[in-house]
Structure 1
Amino acid sequence: MKKVFLSACTLLSLMKLQAQQKDSAFVPRKLHIDEINLVSSYYHQDGNNSAVTGGIGTEKLTDIANVLDIKLFRYDRKGRKNNFGLEMGIDHYTSASSDKIDLKANSSASSADTRFYPSVNWSRENETKGSTFGGGLSFSNEFDYQSIGVNVLYAQKTRNRNGEFTARLQAYLDKVKMIAPYELRSPSNEDVEDEGWKNRNSYSGSFSWTQVINRNLQVAVLADVVQQNGYLGLPFHRVYFTDGSVHQENLPDSRFKIPVGLRANYFLGDRFIFRAYYRYYSDNWGLSAHTADLEVPVKISPFLSISPFYRFYSQHAVKYFAPYGGHTGKDEYYTSNYDLSTFNSNFLGAGIRWAPVNGVFGWQHFHMIELRYGHYDRTNGLNSNIVSLHLQYK
């Protein structure tokens, strides 16, 4: 948890610097800090269906993640509000399953890695017309995966401001390092960990309609259309056939996804909020899934609240999945990745949020602190726990 502590110190230093700048400024700044958010989390999972070893074996993994999000704004000469977002994320994980890419080695370079993912975004809101236009860029890099993302956004509110339509188009241009299991490398390259890179591109359109029904109820309808092309498996995932032979995971080079969802927030008096969500997912690989989620923030005092939550998920496997030793040479496509199998899962936990009027610990600009814990369990044996800390400066 050392990284969590260091990240918290970094945020507090930024707060102090900004307060000093405001006190010492002789002229108003055109660009203002709206808020700064820091989220640090610790995640641990375990299971016995590793895709690296063909659907059996350890799935132990730990991950420490830190995300710093800075939001700024300014009004231009035409009175339009320009919002700017700068986000920096760093994850470090250790994975027992990835360490089995080379079954003969005591340890490999894939047993631990650090992911670095910055992003920037901008939007311009015309508050008179109720319209917003924007876009963003993102980048992600780790040992065996690189991603470049771009998105554009358009939103339009109704005249009475009770409804809003939002459309977002996104593209991710990714590259996968071809790290084959040791025993499947070509004889001339058996000591070489990778054999180049392959492309994976994803294009999506996200659409939503939000509507205020009355002072107590708000609803949103959500829909996405996603098309993926390129290398869609992972080269170090093994698949064992009925005859005992071992192969690399082989999946189609195209995938089409359609998720649709409904979200509703109901305010019951001044103390309770019911946040409900349902999503149905389907794709042309045969996978279908249902997600139902409920979170109920309860205000203990004007400044303190707790938020218990529960999510149920049910999934039907892709048509290319079979467990260890279940595929035959007649199969054109094959995987033993249990993320693509049939299972049900439960995720439950709670958060506690403190936002005193005079600031956390009396520091006026230290707006909020929130601590959340969640436990995840699914029917094929995978389970995990996550603890996250959210600090906010406004």
Structure 2
Amino acid sequence: MKKIFLTAAMAFALLHSQAQTTAPKENTGFESRKLKLDEINLVSSYYTQNGNNAAVTGGIGSQKLTDIANVFDVKLSKYDSKSRKHTFGLEVGIDHYTSASSDMIDLHANSSASHADTRIYPSLSWSMENEKKGTTFALGLSSSSEFDYQSFGGNVSFSAKTKDRSGEFTAKLQTYLDQVKLVQPIELRPSGLLGHENYGSAARNTFAGSLSYSQIINQNLQIMFLADLVQQNGYLSLPFHRVYFNDGSVHQENLPDSRFKIPLGFRANYFLGDRFIIRTYYRFYTDNWGVNSHTADIEVPIKVTPFFSISPFYRYYTQSAAKYFAPYQVHTATDEYYNSNYDLSKFNSNFYGAGIRFAPPKGVFGLQHLSMLELRYGHYTKNINMNSDIISLNIKYK
């Protein structure tokens, strides 16, 4: 928690000093070709969870975990000689977590090295929008690094608006090339390998194609259709997840080296007068591991004043179990694949909470360029004895 408030305080100090020294520019209609700052976003969050189905200990044991996350996002833009808008984005995220289940990779440890970790995930993006033609081309690169996982990603997308600008089609390709460090449960490591050396690694690659189409039906209703095709190949297990067979023996999780996923989604936003918006979302998901799921989400932002709003939300989720899942001491020696991670079990969940948003015309706390402050809280529950809470703070500078 200390990290969240220190970061927020530093951001407030920085934004306050810039707000005092930067004078507003007149809008003359001229499109400057110089690079200008569009916005800066700072998002800080604190997450905590508890449960009793830890995959590290074979589907039983504490899932207690805490995570502090900070994401800093900067967007810059300029127009070129052909009046095309170029937008450049830089995002840097840092998460730090402590996990009771990860600590049990070594069953005899007391606050071992694996009980906590820090993940750093920077990304770069660029887009070029031709406002006259209604088209946008974009590229992105990303990276994520932690003790046992390294990921590099890239994406390319193209968007085109309809002639009357009421609809937009988007196609996107993404890839993630990952390396998983093969950190085994301590009792399954080769003799003499007790420290952090010589773990070895394995590749995991993800390729995804996305299509979406959004349409303004009328001044009150907007809809969007979404479809994805996702192919994963390589080492798709987690090496420190234990599985206990019905004979009492312990093994490493073993899953197929290929997985194909199809998520299909639909969004609809309805503007109910000047004070209410009804945002809805539905997603159907299926894959070749036997998991089928449904997600239904609703959020209703309520404008209390022109500059202050409250947004209660609720999400329901349900899924079937993967065909390779079984609880503690249920798998047998005849099973080709085996897993006791309850993320692949049959369950349903509820997530509900609310956000408050403050965006006064003279700036938050009277700081002209500090344009928005949002605070959100959510409570999450699964029907398999797991629950969590998250609180987040979003500050925007424009």
TM exceeds 0.5? yes
Cα 1:194/1:42, change in 2 over 3 Å: farther
Cα 1:315/1:193, change in 2 over 3 Å: farther
The letter for the 2-side match of 1:274 is I
The reply on whether 1:269 has 2:273 as its aligned counterpart is yes
Q: In the aligned structure 2, how far is the partner of 1:352 from the partner of 1:215?
A: 25
State the secondary structure of the residue aligned to 1:8: helix
Equivalent residues of 1:365, 1:393 under 8 A apart: yes
Corresponding residue number in structure 1 for 2:9: 9
Corresponding residue number in structure 2 for 1:235: 239
Q: CA deviation at 1:29?
A: 7.4
Divergent runs of 4+, >3 A:
16-25, 190-194
The letter for the 2-side match of 1:262 is F
Corresponding residue number in structure 1 for 2:29: none
Corresponding residue number in structure 2 for 1:141: 145
Identity of paired residues, percent?
A: 67
Q: In the aligned structure 2, how far is the partner of 1:318 from the partner of 1:212?
A: 38
Mean Cα deviation higher: 35-44 or 2-11: 2-11
Q: In the aligned structure 2, how far is the partner of 1:279 from the partner of 1:381?
A: 24
The aligned runs of 1:192-271 (5 Å cut-off) are 195-271=199-275
Corresponding residue number in structure 2 for 1:51: 55
Q: CA deviation at 1:106?
A: 1.4
The reply on whether 1:358 has 2:355 as its aligned counterpart is no
State the secondary structure of the residue aligned to 2:289: coil
Equivalent residues of 2:19, 2:367 under 8 A apart: no
Equivalent residues of 2:126, 2:139 under 8 A apart: yes
Q: TM-score, normalised by structure 2?
A: 0.96
Corresponding residue number in structure 2 for 1:75: 79
Q: CA deviation at 1:10?
A: 3.0
Q: CA deviation at 1:107?
A: 2.3
CA RMSD of aligned residues (A): 1.5
Equivalent residues of 1:178, 1:194 under 8 A apart: no
Mean Cα deviation higher: 340-349 or 361-370: 361-370
Cα 1:18/1:30, change in 2 over 3 Å: farther
Q: CA deviation at 1:193?
A: 5.9
Q: In the aligned structure 1, how far is the partner of 2:326 from the partner of 2:281?
A: 31
Cα 1:29/1:7, change in 2 over 3 Å: farther
The aligned runs of 1:363-374 (5 Å cut-off) are 363-374=367-378
The letter for the 2-side match of 1:250 is N
Once the two structures are superposed, what CA deviation does each residue of 1:353-391 show, in whole Å capped at 9, x if it has no partner? 111111111111110111100000001011000000111
Cα 1:255/1:214, change in 2 over 3 Å: same
Q: CA deviation at 1:35?
A: 0.9
Once the two structures are superposed, what CA deviation does each residue of 1:342-362 show, in whole Å capped at 9, x if it has no partner? 000000000011111111111
Corresponding residue number in structure 2 for 1:101: 105
Corresponding residue number in structure 1 for 2:338: 334
Q: TM-score, normalised by structure 1?
A: 0.97
The letter for the 2-side match of 1:204 is A
Q: In the aligned structure 1, how far is the partner of 2:116 from the partner of 2:47?
A: 14
Once the two structures are superposed, what CA deviation does each residue of 1:309-351 show, in whole Å capped at 9, x if it has no partner? 0000001010000000010000000000000000000000000
Cα 1:177/1:150, change in 2 over 3 Å: same
The reply on whether 1:388 has 2:367 as its aligned counterpart is no
Corresponding residue number in structure 2 for 1:91: 95
Equivalent residues of 2:33, 2:81 under 8 A apart: no
Equivalent residues of 1:167, 1:207 under 8 A apart: yes
